[in-house]
Structure 1
C-alpha cells in the first residue's frame, strides 16, 4: 500500500516536469530567433546618439542579387517606414547596400534580407551628437540676435541710404548663414531620428566552394591558352641562346674527338 501511494504521489511531479520541459523546448526556438535578430536603436533619456549598424548576411549565391533588389525596393517604397538608399555596391558573388531607415524598420528589414540564409557578424556603433547640436543651436541664437539688432537699426527713420545698403548686405549674409545652419540642424535631427544600416550579402561556404569550382572549370580553356602563350613567350627568349649554343656544342664535340684520336 505504501509503495502504491508513493507512485500515485509521484505522478503529479512527473506531469509538472513534462510540462516544464515542453515549455522550455517551446521557448528555445523563439529565444534563438530573437537573439539572431537586430533591433533599431534610439537615444534614451535625452541622449543625442546617432546609431549605425553593419550586418553580414550569408546566403546562397543565386539569392544575393534578388535579395539586394528586394531590400532596395522595400526601402524605396517605405515598406518598413521612412527610408533612403545611400549606397549600393555589387561585385563577384557579393553585394552591399547602405540605407537610412527609422529604428522600427531595422528588425523587419534585416529579417526580410536574411530570409533563407543566416546572420553573420553584427556591429552597432553610436556617435554622440550632443556637442554638435549645442554648437549649432548657439550659432543660430547668436545670428538671430544679430539679425534682430540689424532689423531695429534698419527701422530707424534717421538712417542714411548708404547705411541702409550696408545693413541690407549684413542682413542677407546673416540670412544665408541661418539657412546653412538650419540644414546642418536638419541633418543632425535626421541622424538622431533614423539608423544607418549597411547590409553585406555574402555567399555561404558551400555556395562559395561550388562557385569556385564552376569558375575554375569555366576558365580551364582560357587558363590553358594563357599558359601556352606564356610558355611560348618565355621560350622565345631562350631560343636565340639555343641557336648560338648549338654550333659551339658541335665545335666542342669535334675538338674532343680530334683530341682523343691523337692520344690513341
Structure 2
C-alpha cells in the first residue's frame, strides 16, 4: 500500500472521529440545560413566600366574633372596675363602642356583668382595662360565618328590587282596571315591606361583622367565694331549722284528724268485743 493511500485513510478517520464528537456534544447539551434551575426561581427555606400567599388567600368567610371573659378580683373593687369599663366604652376610649347591657349584685358575693359591642381594634384594649392587675379566669372566643347569610340576603334584595321595578312599570299603564291597580298597589307595598326587612337584616349582619360582641363577667376571688359560701351556709341554718319545724307542724296538723278517727274506731271495736264477751 503506498504512502498517499495511507494518508488519505488516516485523514478520513480523523474527520469521522471529529464529527462523532461534535454530534455527541450536541446531543447531551439539552440534557444539561434541563437539569440546571435558575437561582432566581428557587425558594429558599424559611423565606415565607408560600406562607404569605396562603395568608393572603381569600377564604370567602365573613366572621362575627363573640368574646366571653370572666375576671376574678376582690369583691370591693368589682363595682368600681365595671363602672370604669362602662365609662371607657361610652366615651369611645378604644374606638366606637356601645354598652348593650349591665347588671350588678352586692352582698357577700358581689358580681357584675357588662356586655358591649366594640370595633375589633379596641377588643384587647378593653379587656386589658377590665382585667388590669387581676386574674382572667376564663376567656373564650366564638366566630359565626355569615358569608352564606349575607349572600342569600343580597340575592333576595336584588330579586325584590327587580320585581318592584317591574310592578312600577305595570302601574304606570293607562289601560289598567281599578281591581288591577289595587292588586298591584297591594303587591308593591308587600315587596317594599320585605325589602325594608332585608335591608335591616343586612345592616345587622354588617354590624356583627364590622364590630365584635364582648361579655365581661366580674366575680370575687376563689377564697372570697368559698368564704361567702360558708357564711351563706351558716345563715341558712336558721332557715333550714325553721323550715323543718314548719314542715313537722303542717304534717301534725294534717295527720291529727286521721289520728282522732282511728282512736274513735279503736275504742268502738274494744267496746264491741267486751260486749260480746259478757254476752
Normalising by structure 2, we get a TM-score of 0.60
- Asked if 1:99 is matched to 2:116, the reply is yes
Q: 1:53 to 1:236 in 2, by over 3 A?
A: closer
Counterpart of 1:77? Answer: 91
Q: 1:58 to 1:166 in 2, by over 3 A?
A: same
Counterpart of 2:74? Answer: 60
- Contact 1:58–1:120, Cα closer than 8 Å, also in 2: yes
CA positional deviation for 1:182: 0.5
CA positional deviation for 1:235: 9.3
Matches within 5 A, 1:64-143: 64-91=78-105, 92-143=109-160
- Asked if 1:170 is matched to 2:187, the reply is yes
- What is the CA deviation profile of residues 89-110 of structure 1, one whole-angstrom value per residue up to 9, with x for unaligned ones? 3344222222111111111111
- What is the CA deviation profile of residues 60-80 of structure 1, one whole-angstrom value per residue up to 9, with x for unaligned ones? 111112112222222223222
CA RMSD of aligned residues (A): 3.0
Structure 1 residue aligned with 2:171, among 154, 160, 168? 154
Structure 2 residue aligned with 1:203, among 203, 215, 220? 220
Gap runs ≥5 in structure 1: 1-43, 239-264
Number of matched pairs: 194
Normalising by structure 1, we get a TM-score of 0.64
SS of equivalent residue, structure 1 residue 147: helix
CA positional deviation for 1:116: 2.8
CA positional deviation for 1:46: 4.6
Q: 1:158 to 1:216 in 2, by over 3 A?
A: closer
- Asked if 1:48 is matched to 2:48, the reply is no
Gap runs ≥5 in structure 2: 1-57, 253-279
Larger of the two Rg values belongs to structure: 2
